[in-house]
Chain A
Amino acid sequence: KQEVTQIPAALSVPEGENLVLNCSFTDSAIYNLQWFRQDPGKGLTSLLLIQSSQREQTSGRLNASLDKSSGRSTLYIAASQPGDSATYLCAVTGANSKLTFGKGITLSVRP
């Protein structure tokens, strides 16, 4: 059974800092990995999707990497801003076509 882990559960950083959010998964047989953002009381917004054949994806200040063999992904946020404060969830699509989510990292960027 696929398990996705995100540690730590919460993170607080000062504005302007570059930061890395980590995600690990137990079964490397995945189709893709997605990073989502969730604001309080809202739904999920897809940030980046990395296919299993890819190593990384970039969108603006966000860069996500994937090391399938070691079961790890990182989301890099450059020059963090208070507006980046949210919960970031990592999810993998497995061979059974199911999307398995981590519990998320709640990020707070202090002005």
Chain B
Amino acid sequence: DAGVIQSPRHEVTEMGQEVTLRCKPISGHNSLFWYRQTMMRGLELLIYFNNNVPIDDSGMPEDRFSAKMPNASFSTLKIQPSEPRDSAVYFCASSLKGAGYEQYFGPGTRLTVT
């Protein structure tokens, strides 16, 4: 299995632009998680999906952030408009049955907003 796939691996954009991060979970996994990692705050859960349905989005920082999972093999995290404080590494992870099961992480997308 290829593992969790994220794209792009690096993204540099200007403040105010829209950014879309993509994730393909491991085939057969029915839970998908988006995390953000910064030096100051560490790793934080933004949102997670079970069977393509958002279960908990309380970690989404504000309305500029949105996430979708149109099918079992694809999810997006969108930031519109982006701000310099959104600069971070964004990780996607998937698990077989839910948050209580082992999570497999993608390589992350390093986002820089100038």
Q: Who on chain A is nearest to B100 by CB?
A: A31
Q: Who on chain B is nearest to A43 by CB?
A: B105
A46 partner residues in chain B, CB cutoff 8 A: 102-105
CB atoms of A99 and B42 under 8 A apart: no
Q: Number of B residues contacting the other chain (C-beta, 8 Å)?
A: 21
Question: How long is the Cα–Cα vector from A46 to B106 in the complex, in angstroms?
Answer: 12
Question: How long is the Cα–Cα vector from A34 to B93 in the complex, in angstroms?
Answer: 14
**Chain B interface (Cβ within 8 Å of chain A)?**
4, 33, 42-45, 48, 55-56, 91, 93, 98-100, 102-108
**Chain A interface (Cβ within 8 Å of chain B)?**
31-32, 34, 36, 42-46, 49, 89, 91, 93, 96-104
10 A-B pairs closest in CB distance: A97-B99, A43-B105, A103-B42, A101-B43, A44-B105, A31-B100, A43-B107, A93-B100, A49-B102, A46-B102
